[in-house]
Amino acid sequence: MSFNTRSFSPEQDALTSNISASSLGLRAFDDLLLESIDEVLLQLLGEHVRRTIYTCLERQGLHRHRIPECLPRFDTFLEKNFGKTGRVIERQIARRLYELLGLELVEVPHYALTDYVDMATRLQLT
């Protein structure tokens, strides 16, 4: 899984883990990320739109199971197709992922989903 490596701001120091730090396997983490994406898209947009999003992504060569390894492309897709609402969707996905991981999410205004996922992986590895 590769994520862009942006420098992190002091706000990230406020992120804390509600569980003892245990490293999830990469596959388990990816599964939780996909579960979070599925749940949020369904909850916010409905089944028809969720299926349409996955179909559009597939036409662009990004299959659902590859989203975790190509997360910046997913970010870009949401932002291009939903505008500012894309960031809202991304934050909701991040919020759900952090809940599943037992982590506390502190929102940072300029963060994309990729940033939140990168931070979650760092927190899981500490």
Work out the pLDDT band at 11, boundaries 50, 70, 90.
Answer: very low
Point out which residues pair with 17 in neighbouring strands.
103
Domain assignment of residue 93, yes or no: yes
Tell me the pTM: 0.79
Q: Please give the tally of structural domains in the chain.
A: 1
CA 55 remoteness from chain centre: 19
Q: Indicate whether 60 belongs to any domain.
A: yes
Domain holding 94: CATH number? 1.10.1200
pLDDT digit string (tens) for 16-61?
A: 223 323 445 767 999 999 999 999 999 999 999 999 999 999 999 9
Tokens 């894309």 — which residue?
Answer: 86
Which residues constitute the domain of residue 74? 24-119
